[in-house]
Structure 1
Amino acid sequence: MDEKVTISDIAREVGVSKTTISRYLNGSYGYMSDKTRRRIEQVIEQTGYVPNNVARTLRSKKSNLIGVVVNTLRYQVGAQTVTGIQDVCNKYGYGTVVCCSDDDPDKELEAIQLCQNQQVDGFIIIPCLEKSNRYIELCQRGTPVVLCTRRLTDWPYGCVYVKHEEMIGQMMVHLKEQGFEKVQFLLDVNNFHKRRMGDAFAQRAKELFDMEPDESIALVGRKDPKIPEALDQFKAKWVGTRKAVMAVNTHTLFLTLQELERRGCHIPEDIGVCGYDAQGWAELVSPGISAIRQPMDQMGIQAAEELMAALAENRMSQNHVALSGKVFFRDSTKRN
């Protein structure tokens, strides 16, 4: 065969019509025997045939692509969520266009426009905006959207998120039961998602430890973290009390542990430490670190399944799915 293999070449080699080959390429196997399907797959592999996706998209008005816009790929949450999304999309015959917004609304808009230029059939977005107008506009144009990991109060369509308030509450009760008298939440950035996590912490800190929000929340920053300063202020404010800190993510937790090690602090005798998503190493370091673990893979899997169902039924996704993570209590917060 010629180097530039066409759909007609494939049809002739298999002994079927071009329509049958087109159905195969579009994932429509209903009128096709397993034997024919395997033969088509074999010939395509042997010839190295590459479909003209632009032409297919124009004909079918479907690209079989999903736009995935995430806030970050630097940490476990983003990377493992994307892995779950891609696993499901691949299973259903969809590719993905993955873009990162860096939690910047302008970059997010550029990413969405790039995906639209690729004629994506649907979106999975980890939003960086608290208001849902931008995402609702996509749905109003007929493109299904599922939001992932972050919940918007005014969003009427598909969403998969984690019950942060529930898990933070469990950790706070544990700290109280272990005899800690004052606690502080170390936040890296002040976006709407982290503020909600901080609000949940501050509420329980008020109930359990009689602390005001400005006492129980410390914004340490991300690019140039002020963790030493936050620890100094926390130590100086309540001399002689049993204290514990909770880090908002793996990066902040690691830097906190590094700083406490530099100071020669004993955990949990001098200060208790817990955090989020310290997956893989939290139980291995000494002492083991108490941590909240988000269901990262499951978030991506669930969001993609929601979108696949909406596309299959030619509708918008409208399910709100709340996932529970796991809370691990280890020696870094055990005083009793």
Structure 2
Amino acid sequence: MSKKITIADVANQAGVSKSTISQYLNNRFEYMGEETRSRIKKAISDLEYQPNVVARSLKKKSTSTIGVIVANILHAFSTQVIRSIENVCNENGFSTIICNADDNPEKEKKYIETLLAKQVDGLIVVPISGNSDTYEKLLNQDFPIVFLDRLVDGLNTDTVLLNNGKASELAVNHLLENGYEKIAIVTTSLIDNVTPRVERINGYIKALEENNISVRTDYIKGMELSKIPQGLNELFSLDEKPDAIVSGNDLTLMEILKYSFEHQIRIGKEIGLITIDEVSFGPIHSPPLTTIAQPTFEMGKEVATILLNKIRDKNAKQDPAVHRYEPRLIVRKSTKKEGAGNE
């Protein structure tokens, strides 16, 4: 069995002290000549020395790693934001550990405990209801946390999310401008008061009321993903069927598209359809889908930057803020009513 190479072996090979090797490994080159650095680099290469990352992180009291816990990684929003977070962290010398909680509070709590055991320097979380006590304890200990996409009642921490009410208002107003009058909204379960879902329903209601249109509770469907086909059956069994649907997110959209295909409902002709969340297949679907896009990459950059600033300057006491981003309407043909408008 080969002998484990130590920092002392590298120091002997390079003809320098162990502290000089330590400075080199921690990128502290201020008092180190180019020739010394070259000798150390060659010694590390020749001896195939592997630094003990855990030991170094304990000395530095930092692992240069953050944890990211998302509620459901299947959302396009989640994957796009994660990509942006990872990019910012990589540029700043940080690694990311990605965890998918599957909208399960127990799984989320387990991941929190695992990430803390791995001594991550901070957390970015799309929080699920049920673990607010755990987050409160961490915040009271000044542990760096930033929330994404969702607010948590009673917890005061920086949060990055969409102006969800505005997203629904854009959707409803666009449909009304294109001649639709009986507009329904379908989204995933409202049981846990998940911020985007509730705010999007409220924005839908507000837009109808501002246009003097009566709000019909039977046009509002918030249910588990598996029950959405049943909800759509109920909508299309009404005496006054809706002539347009606002889809609350991309997973809901998939259920609506599947249902319309199975029941031969022609989107853009028999029913108008607009979805919150841009989807990769939106421009190539038949017909191309009108969407309300979130600036996911900007949101990911913002949430990562806030967290890294917290990690680097734990003494900076700034009041936490809610950072809202504006949605953008992308008009395509799924909301083009024959004989309406010029779009």
Q: How far is 1:206 from its partner?
A: 3.6
**Residue identity in the other structure for 1:195:** V
1:48 deviation in Å? 4.4
Q: Secondary structure at the match of 1:226?
A: helix
2:331 equivalent in structure 1? 329
Distance 1:215 1:267 in 2: 21
Aligned partner of residue 237 in structure 1, secondary structure: coil
Q: Judging changes above 3 Å, is the alpha-carbon distance between structure 1 residues 132 and 255 closer, same or farther for their aligned structure 2 residues? A: same
* Structure 1 unaligned regions, length at least 5: none
Aligned to 1:302: 302
Could you give the per-residue CA deviations for residues 115-159 of structure 1, whole angstroms, max 9, x where no partner exists?
111111111111112884432321222311111122335332222
Q: How far, CA to CA, are the matches of 2:105 and 2:333 in structure 1?
A: 40
Distance in 2 (alpha carbons) for counterparts of 1:131 and 1:118: 19
1:63 is paired with a residue of what secondary structure? coil
| Change in 2 beyond 3 A, CA 1:233/1:299 | same
- State the match for 2:222 in structure 1: 219
- Give the 4+ runs in structure 1 shifted more than 6 A: 33-39
The answer on whether the counterparts of 1:206 and 1:213 sit within 8 Å (CA) in structure 2 is: no
Instruction: Give deviations 1:260-287, integer Å, cap 9, x for gaps.
Output: 1222222222110111324221011121
Q: How many residues align?
A: 332
TM-score, with structure 2 as normaliser: 0.85
- The verdict on how the C-alpha distance between 1:70 and 1:226 changes in structure 2, with shifts beyond 3 A counting, is closer
SS at match of 2:284: coil
Pairing 1:53-202 to 2, within 5 Å after superposition: 53-129=53-129, 132-190=132-190, 191-193=192-194, 194-202=197-205
Contact 2:66/2:122 (<8 A) preserved: yes
Question: Which residue in the other structure is 2:287 paired with?
Answer: 287
**Is the CA contact 1:161–1:299 (under 8 Å) kept in the aligned structure 2?**
yes
Cα 1:199–1:49 shift into 2, 3 Å: farther
Residue in structure 2 matched with residue 235 of structure 1 by the alignment: 236
Which residue identity lines up with residue 103 of structure 2 in the other structure? D
Structure 2 vs 1, CA of residues 312 and 31 (structure 1 numbering), >3 Å: closer, same or farther? farther
| Structure 2: distance between partners of 1:84 and 1:179 | 38
Task: Give me the CA root mean square deviation.
Answer: 2.8
When normalised by structure 1's length, the TM-score is 0.87
SS in 2 for 1:154: coil
Question: Residue 197 of structure 1 aligns to which amino acid in structure 2?
Answer: R
**In structure 2, how many angstroms separate the alpha carbons of the residues matched to 1:246 and 1:38?**
62
- Distance in 2 between the 1:292 and 1:38 partners? 54
CA contact (8 A) 1:179 1:242 kept: no
Which residues of structure 2 form unaligned runs of 5+?
none
Q: CA deviation at 1:238?
A: 4.8
Name the amino acid aligned to 2:71. Answer: N
Structure 1 Cα separation of the partners of residues 86 and 122 of structure 2: 13
Report the alpha carbon displacement of residue 24 of structure 1 after superposing the two structures with TM.
4.3
Distance (Å, rounded) in 2 between the aligned partners of 1:31 and 1:232: 73
